[in-house]
Amino acid sequence: MSAPLLAVENIGRRFGGFVALEGVTASFASNKVTAVIGPNGAGKSTFFNVLSGVLPPSTGTMRFKGRDLAGTPQHRFAHLGIARSYQITNIFPELSVHENVRVAAQAFRSRYDIWRDRAALTELDDKAAAALAAVGLTHRGSATAKFLAHGQQRALEIAIALVADPELLLLDEPTAGMGPEETKEMIALIEKLAAERTILLVEHKMKMILGLSDRILVLHHGRLIADGNPQQIQSDPEVRRVYLGQNDGYA
């Protein structure tokens, strides 16, 4: 096993008196797909928000490619090579699809330049086109983003994350609200992406997770209760207890 891309040690997060995440230790190797599962309120979103810099952890350390992330503001994460998508579609609704991706690409090229003509940065158009092609949205480039179908918006969101060429891609329920057909396409897309980069995803669709993931983390009440490959997780008694006890049909 190569040196981990991301290593978190004993991280926790509190909101006032409420402990959302506690003592999670894990490391993630390159080019693997890891799924994070757990019942509602297990701390999955908090975990993702900590990993993507939205929330600084209350305790613990995070290292990305050996670099300590303590005190790193959220916007630096994209520059380090960590990009994410959101559970609820999170795009630039009034911009065109192409612009959505282009402006994301621009973050690595020009952020405060007020003199140049933005159209002059033609390489951004190429990058945007490539990212759109990767998610199969080339034909919708000129459409206004808010008019896309739901599945296409999810794909656009991944394109926005992808154009950063991240080494670590965090996908928060990429298939949320999708029909079976769209889900299938999304799975294919994730498999394609997984060939080149490390992916961490939160999902509820168990069948999809089992088919897709190299490794599964299970969170419950903010704690990591299991960590292993799909077979191990499926047979883990603690996980079974949690899911059957919940009886919410996730398993």
Residues that bind another protein (CB under 8 A): 52, 54, 73-79, 83-84, 86, 90-96, 98-99, 102-104, 106-119, 121, 141-142, 144, 160-161, 164
Which residue number, 137 or 218, has a Cβ lying nearer to another protein?
137
Integer CA distances (angstroms), 23 to 5, 39, 86, 224, in order: 20, 18, 24, 8
Spatial distance between the Cα atoms of 116 and 200, rounded to a whole number of angstroms = 37
Which residue number, 146 or 241, has a Cβ lying nearer to another protein?
146
Q: Report in angstroms how near the CB of residue 89 gets to another protein at its nearest.
A: 10
Spatial distance between the Cα atoms of 162 and 183, rounded to a whole number of angstroms = 18
Q: Report in angstroms how near the CB of residue 155 gets to another protein at its nearest.
A: 15
Give 150-217 as a DSSP string. HHHHHHHHHHHHHTT--SEEEEESTTTT--HHHHHHHHHHHHHHHTTSEEEEE-S-HHHHHHH-SEEE
Q: Is 116 helix (H, G, I), strand (E, B) or coil?
A: coil
Which residue number, 76 or 241, has a Cβ lying nearer to another protein?
76
Q: Report in angstroms how near the CB of residue 204 gets to another protein at its nearest.
A: 19
Which residue number, 103 or 206, has a Cβ lying nearer to another protein?
103
Number of H helices, E strands in the chain: 9, 10
Q: Report in angstroms how near the CB of residue 39 gets to another protein at its nearest.
A: 18
Q: Report in angstroms how near the CB of residue 118 gets to another protein at its nearest.
A: 5
Which residue number, 156 or 218, has a Cβ lying nearer to another protein?
156
* Torsion sign across C-alpha atoms 204, 206, 212, 217: positive
